[in-house]
Chain A
Amino acid sequence: MSGAILPAPSQRTATTGSGIGMSAWANMFFVLPYIIVVVALVIAPLFLGIWLSFQDYDMLGGWAGGVAFENYTNLFSDRIFLGTIRNTLLFVVMTTPAFVVVGLFLAITLNSHLRRHAVLRSVFFASSVLSVTVVTLVWRLVYLPNQGLLASVTNLLGLPGIDPVTSETWALPGVAVVTVWWIIGLPMTLFLAALQQIPKEIYEAAALDRASRWATLTSITLPSIRRTIVVVTLLEVILQFQLFGQALLITGGGPDNRSRPMVQFIYETGFRDLQVGFAAAASQVLFALMLVAAIVQFWVGRSRDER
């Protein structure tokens, strides 16, 4: 009995299977250009970088063979490199919460149909389109010792002067402020888009439920945009680990390496000192850190989601 029934479905599966196979191969042609680009520009360099990090490769001296983990052991005994890890982590810790909090604050404040709010939204986003050179130029004027805007304000208020360019304490926070000012537009826009998805009736129901402004924020708004908060955090962590231009142009990594980020270290060892293998190893450390941070973020966001 079962023998009579079984062959029929298996035959049908076979025919559909080959049908799908045919069309899948045809579909490959549509994604082929993309695959070529990804393999050539992302996957190949990734593995090439990993391979390089185990080589003694100097741009002037050429390839001098594999060195196993020597690049890595050298890196972790290099005080400057360890300093750049600390700086980069500190920078991420300083900027990411600021992007979330300030971006959210701006989005909530400017989430209306008022004309002046539309203008302000554009203003806050406008700085994001400037190049890092222009931004740092403007901020060097602000940070100019004794004559800059910051010095004038602290003088006027009778406060002790802060000099981010030359102060070991204030160099990294100085760079962080510039960064937040520069690209606050993106998180703000993402939060605005999320806020506009919240149905108006929920706020009306909350008003009838006598929710205070604080209760409305914490019980209605924030839970409704939780996914966006996770996305913005993840995005900013990944972006801010790659700090380079602002630090190089404002402080040059100093004073005393206190604002030197990992990417600057990689740039200097690779492109100035031409030690490509060593730089590649540093790149892998940065990559691993970013990966871990992203996974932790993603995991925290998801487990809270499931609760």
Chain B
Amino acid sequence: MGGLSLRGLSKSYGSLDIMRDLSLEIADGEFAVFLGPSGCGKSTLLRMVAGLEAPTSGEIHLGNRRIDAIAPGERGVAMVFQNYALYPHMTVKQNMAFGLRNVGTPRDEIASKIAIAAKMLEIAHLLDRKPGQLSGGQRQRVAIGRAIVKQPEVFLFDEPLSNLDAALRSRTRIELARLHQRVQSTMIFVTHDQVEAMTMATRIVVMNHGRIEQVGAPMEIYRKPSTRFVASFIGSPSMNFLPVVQAGESDGRALVRLADGTVVATEILSASVPRSGEMTLGVRAEHVTPGSGTAARVDVVERLGERTLVYAIVDDGSTIVYDEPGDVAPAIGEHVRLSLDPANVMLFDAAGLAYHAEPRA
């Protein structure tokens, strides 16, 4: 057993750079989620760990072994593919046994390993069926079972939930989290779905354009995104972004002015914020309260059951979404006033770098 260490990984196809000098440490037993939009390099990174893609340069270490130059099967990793990649002509049992047979595992040991995994995944009654006779969710379980029986040091999941329907997806999320607690192996999970990342990860690795934007625990990434990209990618609804200009300071904390002239107080140390340049204010829907403050006109009301979202348009034309605290939502076209919670407002500079509130001593 051991942690995974990616050191200075680069990948390019001809002159096209997919990834440049990426380094990351994943601790033993961690559930790491690579999160990012399609084309950000997260799957390529996973495939490099699996050995299905060779890095152009850099090293991959698992425990105290360097694994980037050895064959996929000898790395101690198992992978669950997006389309499951089950062997269509083999039964479920044969699918699960194939990897074990190839390394000469004794017959009765194979049988007992399959029995344990099948029981854990509740697929014991499917063992003699072929993949073509299974539903999507069942195939998914078989694919996970095929990985489990190998008892790998690292499990790799390549968007395994994207072919499941919504109900099954949320159930499988919980089962995977449970599986992780049970087997205690390192798991790397690739997804573009932030809900999957937030619910399962012990640590999220947010990627964009072949670079790591931020690495952190789910709530840390949610509360303190380090870049505007992370802030916009994580959270539903997406964070509100409003163009602002700096309006001096109060008590060492930055003040900013919205397009309509409203001055917004923040808890961000003004000394930490660059003096010049365009700034963008970021605030999440739950930190905007109706009552007083900047004027806006209600555009759309979304009732989600447990919360109601109101999309309102401010003077400069940008949209602010906020949580309506009461049960009675305002009517469309109604004028409201919105205030932003100073402790939860963040600023982004022109390069997209974030500045966060500092708690007062």
Contact = CB atoms under 8 A, between A and B. Distances in A.
Nearest to A210: B73
Nearest to A220: B87
Interface string A200-212: 0110111111111
The secondary-structure label for the interface of chain B is loop
Interface of B: 50-52, 71-74, 77-79, 81, 83, 85-90, 98-99, 102-103, 146, 150
A188 to B, nearest CB: 23
B73 A211 contact: yes
B77 A205 contact: no
Interface in A24-71: none
Contacts of B50: 204, 208
Given A209-B99, A212-B102, A201 B74 contact: no
Contacts of A257: none
B87 A219 contact: yes
A211 B71 contact: no
A202 B83 CA distance: 10
A209 B83 contact: no
Nearest to A216: B102
Interface residues of A, number: 18
A167 interface: no
B51 A215 contact: no
A70 B12 CA distance: 78
26 contacts: A199-B83, A199-B85, A204-B50, A204-B72, A204-B85, A205-B79, A205-B85, A206-B87, A206-B98, A207-B51, A207-B73, A208-B50, A208-B73, A208-B78, A208-B79, A209-B102, A210-B71, A210-B73, A210-B74, A210-B102, A211-B102, A212-B102, A215-B102, A219-B87, A220-B87, A223-B87
Contact of B71 (A205, A207, A220): A207
Given A209-B98, A210-B103, A224 B89 contact: yes
Nearest to B81: A201
Nearest to B101: A215
Interface in A222-250: 223-224, 226
A205 B73 CA distance: 9
Contacts of B72: 204, 207-208
Contact of A207 (B52, B89, B90, B150): B52
Contacts of A201: 81, 83, 85
A219 B94 CA distance: 10
Nearest to B150: A209
A243 B103 CA distance: 48
A139 B86 CA distance: 48
A207 B75 CA distance: 11
Contacts of B146: 205, 209
A101 B51 CA distance: 32
Contacts of A215: 102
Nearest to A211: B102
Nearest to B80: A205
A274 to B, nearest CB: 55
B89 A223 contact: yes
Shortest beta-carbon contacts, A-B, top 3: A210-B73, A209-B99, A201-B85
Interface string A168-212: 000000000000000000000000000000010110111111111
A209 B103 CA distance: 9
Given A204-B52, A212-B102, 15 more contacts: A201-B81, A205-B85, A206-B87, A207-B51, A207-B71, A208-B50, A209-B73, A209-B98, A209-B102, A210-B74, A211-B73, A211-B102, A223-B87, A224-B88, A224-B89
Nearest to B104: A210
Contacts of A210: 71, 73-74, 99, 102-103
A207 to B, nearest CB: 4
Nearest to A208: B72
A220 B50 CA distance: 20
Contacts of A219: 87, 90, 98
A212 B146 CA distance: 18
A246 B85 CA distance: 46
Contacts of A206: 87, 98
A137 B307 CA distance: 85
A223 B91 CA distance: 13
A223 B89 CA distance: 7
A205 B86 CA distance: 8
A253 B73 CA distance: 56
